[in-house]
Amino acid sequence: MSSTGDKVKGMANEAVGNVKQGIGKATDNTKLQAEGKLQEKKGEAQQAVGKAKDAIKKGVDKA
């Protein structure tokens, strides 16, 4: 997957995770809150991968 694709997927997962956490809090559903937190962290990791790919590509392009 491209760096842009990783970052976009990461942002989407983060957003969905935040929504799940909010719904979980509103409905007092701890399982949904936990799922949301996990999905948010997954999104953060995907974005980090995308940023790392960008950094590597920039480094290779300079060489």
Please report, in tens digits, the pLDDT of each residue of the chain (63 residues total).
Answer: 788 999 999 999 999 999 999 999 999 999 999 999 999 999 999 999 999 999 998 888 776
Residue ranges of the domains in the chain?
3-62
Model's pTM, two decimal places?
A: 0.83
pLDDT given for residue 63 in this prediction: 64
Which sign, positive or negative, has the C-alpha torsion 25, 29, 32, 37?
positive
Contact 46, 9 (CB under 8 A): yes
